[in-house]
């Protein structure tokens, strides 16, 4: 049994004002899940994008405005949104504090296609 010590995992700078902690993915031998947390400064988050797999986006702390397809909702702590595979979505921090979200994807490799072609794509795969 492997024990993952998330306290020792580094946060990564994904874009200005957005820090990411990749908790579980193919890089730690996961075969079916990718779980990561993001910490977003006010006004910032994830631009519109999609994944080939289903995702659960959960707000741990703060207030998020989440857009799924053409619908936008305000989501707060202890609430989550199920994002169907292939559905365009994005979110941003609409509160005054740091937004803390956890994303769980039904694949061990993180991949996203962004509407904004200038957005840096990320892909997590084992070395």
- As its CATH architecture, domain 18-110 has Sandwich (2.60)
Q: Is the pLDDT of residue 75 over 90?
A: yes
- Mean pLDDT (the chain, rounded): 91
Q: What is the pLDDT of residue 122?
A: 62
Give 23-72 pLDDT, tens digit per residue.
998 877 888 999 999 999 999 999 999 999 999 999 999 999 999 999 99
Amino acid 54: pLDDT: 97
Of all residues in the chain, the percent with pLDDT exceeding 70 is 94
CA angle 65, 73, 60 (to 5 degrees): 55
Task: Write out the DSSP string of the chain.
Answer: -----GGGSPPEEEETTEEEEEEESGGGT-SS-EEEEEEE-TT-EEEEEE-SS-EEEEEEESEEEEEETTEEEEEETTEEEEE-TT--EEEEE-SSS-EEEEEEESSSS---EESSTTSPP------
At 81-91, the pLDDT tens digits run 999 999 999 99
Domain locations along the chain: 18-110
- The torsion of the CA quartet 104, 93, 118, 112, rounded to 10 degrees, works out to 10
What confidence score (pLDDT) does residue 120 get? 63
């Amino acid at each position: 049994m492997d024990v993952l010590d998330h306290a020792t995992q580094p946060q990564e700078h994904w874009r200005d004002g957005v820090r990411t902690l990749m908790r579980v993915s193919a890089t730690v031998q996961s075969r079916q899940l990718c779980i990561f947390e993001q910490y977003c400064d006010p006004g910032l988050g994830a631009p519109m994008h999609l994944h080939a797999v289903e995702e659960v986006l959960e707000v741990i702390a703060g207030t998020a405005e989440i857009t799924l397809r053409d619908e936008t909702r305000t989501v707060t702590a202890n609430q989550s949104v199920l994002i169907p595979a292939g559905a365009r979505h994005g979110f941003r921090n609409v509160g005054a504090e740091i937004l803390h979200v956890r994303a769980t994807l039904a694949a061990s490799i993180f991949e996203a296609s962004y509407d904004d072609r200038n957005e840096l794509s990320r892909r997590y795969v084992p070395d």
